[in-house]
Chains A and B, each alone.
Chain A
Amino acid sequence: MDAKNVKYRLGKSYGFQILTYILAFACVVPLLAILIFILKQGLSKINWHFLVNVPKPVGESGGGIANALVGSILIIIVASIIAIPIGIMAGVYLSENKKSRLAYWVRLSTDVLQGVPSIVIGIVAYFWMVKPLGGFSAFSGSVALAIMMLPIVVRSTEETLKLLPDSLREAALALGMPFHRVIFKVIVPVGISGILSGVMLSVARITGETAPLLFTAFGNPYLSTNLTKPMQSLPLLIFNYATSPYNDWHDLAWGASLILLLWVLFLNIFTKIVTRKWKVQL
């Protein structure tokens, strides 16, 4: 091999390296672009007044998104109360019974559920809950979102617990612990950081879901905390107000978008911190 050939090869390798840098950076660009854009549009709209007031009627300027904030928080809390215990228990089942028939079907159905488009879940919730109950309700929205959270919580719990060594379980069993104590006093506490990270990512995931809420929580221009009645939420507000012809309402939508984005960003960063801090060193 002569020197020229080596140079050529080195050059090619160098060029390839640069290409990977560029492409890696390209992955960051969308997030940065969105963040900057929404910040520019939304930041000036956000102030205390914006957070504690409900939207004003058309034509009046000002107003805020308090109804959507409260609604989103309530709907998410109820969805979490439904999905987290079921999801963690199912995840525990899967990690404890790796090869059972039921485990196979649970795994398959959570995988499929994860891929079901959210609008389909919305329609189903509409037919199962809104119609029989005779009206839109925040609770039916929570159920729809809980169904979306479930597979994430189940699988992240399973993945976390599967990685724990058998010796841990044996140590507990050899001390005469009954099965439920082995699970709740040893296995879950040791895996807590992984379980929590799944839970928080699932919350981040559903916060912005709009489609399932269109047919269920529906939206509400006023502040409501009644779970059996329609309720506003951030994504619904953005959807309704951004598509309206009024500039004041567009402002509300931009501000709400920024809040939503910051919340998801916060959850992701918080998850990273918590998982690092609560990680049990094996």
Chain B
Amino acid sequence: MESTIIKSRNFNASFGSNHVVRNVNIDIPRNHVIAVMGPSGCGKTTYLRCINRMHELIPGATCSGEMKLNDENIYEMHPIFVRLKIGMVFQRPNPFPNLSIYDNVIAGYKLNGIKLPKAERDRIVEHSLTRVALWNEVKDSLNKKGSFLSGGQQQRLCIARAVAMEPEVLLFDEPTSALDPISTSTVEELFHELKVNYTLIIVTHNMQQAARVSDKTAFFFMGELVEYDETKTMFTNPKDNRTQNYITGRFS
């Protein structure tokens, strides 16, 4: 039996009176890739942002229920500590435009005022960029601004920035939807590499992508988690007919 890293019980989230995540129960196993799918507006992003406590930053946003990281209640931990343990990569690459590639990678340390010896910083930068298959492309231009990179490179830089903090979980919100097909496949390949050390939760609208990269898939519909299973089972033999309808393209 694999160990659970993220566990939700009766988890709810709202924007004011708009109840967008309803009663979600899920166990996410360590070192797996989990795809989160569902029609637009069904609460995928909202749920994802509840995991690292970004949801509560929006005025009027509330949530309730149980959300645990390694059996510790995330909502009883300090949000800053949660975000160090659970990294996030956004839909659009968002490197810090005022920082060099090098500084972008260690931004989590540098901007948090965590002092590291130069050798250690160098090691983290090289290691993180290598993990995201960007080292060879940028090793000669580490002092250039991150915003000079291509979109796909920027997204990998953002993944490196999250990886550099050595989190336990990485959250991705449609990480390739702003990328071209070649960059997309580079990023997808990374997921296989990254799950050796991390647990990946990926929101995606791309069914082929979910099928290619994920071990398990969670299907959300109108704020509810209607089905959660092995990706293979989900795509070949869905139990809920809403899932069935979605993957056969009857609604999107």
A and B interact: yes
The residues of A with any CB-CB pair to B shorter than 8 Å are 99, 165, 167-168, 170-178, 181, 185-186, 189-190, 280-282
Given contacts A170-B54, A280-B97, A281-B147, contact A175 B107 (CB under 8 A): yes
Given contacts A181-B111, A181-B112, A282-B147, contact A176 B81 (CB under 8 A): yes
Name 27 interchain pairs, CB-CB below 8 A, sorted by A: A167-B90, A167-B92, A168-B96, A168-B97, A171-B95, A171-B158, A174-B54, A174-B90, A175-B83, A175-B107, A175-B108, A175-B111, A175-B112, A175-B165, A176-B80, A176-B84, A176-B108, A176-B165, A177-B80, A181-B113, A186-B96, A186-B111, A190-B96, A190-B97, A190-B98, A280-B98, A281-B145
A178 partner residues in chain B, CB cutoff 8 A: 80
Determine the distance from Cα of A168 to Cα of B96 in the docked complex, in whole angstroms: 7
Q: Determine the residue in chain A with the shortest Cβ distance to B91.
A: A167
Determine the distance from Cα of A261 to Cα of B173 in the docked complex, in whole angstroms: 55
The residues of B with any CB-CB pair to A shorter than 8 Å are 52, 54, 57, 59, 80-84, 87-88, 90, 92, 94-98, 107-108, 111-113, 145, 147, 158, 161-162, 165
Determine the distance from Cα of A186 to Cα of B96 in the docked complex, in whole angstroms: 8
Given contacts A167-B90, A281-B145, A282-B147, contact A174 B98 (CB under 8 A): no
Q: Chain A interface mostly helix, strand, loop or mixed?
A: helix
A281 partner residues in chain B, CB cutoff 8 A: 97, 145, 147
Instruction: Return the 8 tightest CB-CB contacts between A and B, nearest first.
Output: A176-B83, A174-B88, A176-B84, A167-B94, A175-B108, A185-B111, A171-B94, A176-B80
Determine the distance from Cα of A189 to Cα of B96 in the docked complex, in whole angstroms: 10
B95 partner residues in chain A, CB cutoff 8 A: 171
Question: Which of B57, B97, B145, B162 is close to A173, meaning CB atoms less than 8 Å apart?
Answer: B57
Report yes or no: A171 in contact with B96, Cβ–Cβ below 8 A: yes
Determine the distance from Cα of A170 to Cα of B57 in the docked complex, in whole angstroms: 9
B88 partner residues in chain A, CB cutoff 8 A: 174
Determine the distance from Cα of A207 to Cα of B212 in the docked complex, in whole angstroms: 66
- Shortest CB distance B64–A (Å): 22
Most chain B CB inside 10 Å of its own CB: which residue of A173, A176, A181, A189: A176
Determine the distance from Cα of A248 to Cα of B27 in the docked complex, in whole angstroms: 89
Q: Given A170-B54, A175-B107, A175-B161, 17 more contacts at CB 8 Å?
A: A168-B97, A171-B90, A171-B95, A171-B158, A174-B54, A174-B162, A175-B87, A175-B165, A176-B83, A181-B112, A181-B113, A185-B111, A186-B98, A190-B97, A281-B147, A282-B97, A282-B147
